[in-house]
Structures are given as structure tokens and as C-alpha cells.
């Protein structure tokens, strides 16, 4: 088995989609091994998304990710990173496959409901950013 890291982003929390999204994640074979409601500071978001800091949408991304609480979670499943990226769908919900979380719950590229780590290495970094060892089961 291995692990990935996810965030249910502020738009998903605002629209009260936490329950539906977690249900879909569990039904898709992922086990939740860490989870909390938290809010990122500007500094947190700038660090978390540092790879995008030269992009034109960076300011918008930081505003979005810090405007309200998120659900941060660590998920366990065989092939977790790749399978979770498949479950969430394309970054732009207009391109996301039927039945994916972004197709169902995202509204645009800038408000796309969920995050999923893009590699095992980033999953470990991102999990450690949000959780201590004692908070991961
Ligand atoms: P994450 O799982 O959140 O990392 O999304 P991703 O891996 O599918 O996309 P990527 O890492 O390339 O971009 C990170 C996030 O930046 C996206 O999920 C969007 O929230 C945001 N983003 C990407 N492109 C755009 C854009 O063109 N405009 C806006 N407003 N936001 C964007
Ligand atoms: Mg990404």
C-alpha cells in the first residue's frame, strides 16, 4: 500500500460537499489515515504552491486557497497517487471525465474543489506540511 495527500479546497467546503466527496473517496477504496479541518495562511499557501510562483494565476491561487477552511487528509491505497489523480479528474473540470470528483463538484480551473499530490515524493512532503507523525494512523 502507499499514500497520497489531499485537500478539499475552500469552494468544496463552502458548498457543503465535504460529506459527498469523502464518501466517494472511501467508496473508491481509499482509507483515511489522517484528516482535519484547517485554514492555510498566505505564507502556507505560498510555500505549498511554491512551484507555481512565477505563474500569472499565482496571486489568485493563494487568495482562493486561503479564503476559508479546507479539509486536509492523508489517504492510503495501493497505487494511491495515480489512482487518486484518476478519481479527481483533470485540473479543468470542463476536461474532467464523467464521474470524477472535479466533474461533479468543481466549477472552474480556479475553483476545482480538490487537490491530489502528483508524486510519491510530493505526497510525503505535503503530508508532513499538514500533519505530525502522531496524527497519521
Ligand atoms: P492540484 O491538485 O491542486 O495541485 O491541481 P493540479 O495538479 O491538477 O494542477 P496544478 O498543480 O497544475 O495547479 C495547481 C492549482 O492551481 C490548480 O488545481 C488550480 O486550483 C490552480 N490553477 C491552475 N491553473 C490555473 C489557471 O489557469 N487559473 C487559475 N485561476 N488557477 C489555476
Ligand atoms: Mg498539482
ipTM above 0.90, yes or no: yes
If we measure between CA atoms, which residue out of 6, 10, 8, 130 comes closest to residue 75? 6
75 phi, psi to nearest 5 deg: -120, 140
Q: pLDDT tens digits for 116-131?
A: 999 999 999 999 999 9
List, by residue number, the catalytic residues: 115
pTM over 0.95? The answer is yes
Q: What residue ranges define each of the domains in the chain, with the CATH number in brackets?
A: 2-135 (3.30.70.141)
Q: How far is the CA of 113 from the centre of ligand 1 (A)?
A: 10
Q: Considering only CA atoms, which residue is closest to atom 31 of ligand 1?
A: 110
Query: Would the CB of 116 count as within 6 Å of ligand 1?
Result: yes
Q: Is 112 in the pocket of ligand 1 (CB under 6 A)?
A: yes
Dump pLDDT digits (tens) for 67-78. 999 999 999 999
CA distances from 62 to 19, 42, 53, 67, 95 (A): 25, 6, 10, 9, 23
Ligand minimally distant from the alpha carbon of residue 56: 1
Say if CB 91 and CB 6 are below 8 A apart: no
Amino acid at each position: 500500500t502507499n499514500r497520497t495527500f489531499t485537500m478539499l479546497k475552500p469552494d468544496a467546503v463552502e458548498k457543503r460537499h465535504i460529506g459527498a466527496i469523502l464518501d466517494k473517496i472511501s467508496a473508491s477504496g481509499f482509507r483515511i489515515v489522517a484528516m482535519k479541518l484547517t485554514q492555510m495562511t498566505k505564507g502556507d499557501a505560498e510555500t505549498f504552491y511554491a512551484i507555481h510562483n512565477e505563474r500569472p494565476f499565482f496571486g489568485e491561487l493563494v487568495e482562493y486557497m486561503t479564503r476559508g477552511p479546507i479539509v486536509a487528509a492523508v489517504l492510503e491505497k495501493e497505487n494511491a497517487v495515480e489512482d487518486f489523480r484518476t478519481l479527481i479528474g483533470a485540473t479543468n473540470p470542463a476536461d474532467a471525465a464523467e464521474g470524477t470528483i472535479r466533474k461533479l463538484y468543481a466549477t472552474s480551473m480556479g475553483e476545482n474543489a480538490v487537490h491530489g499530490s502528483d508524486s510519491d515524493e510530493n505526497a510525503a512532503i505535503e503530508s508532513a506540511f499538514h500533519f505530525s507523525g502522531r496524527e497519521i494512523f
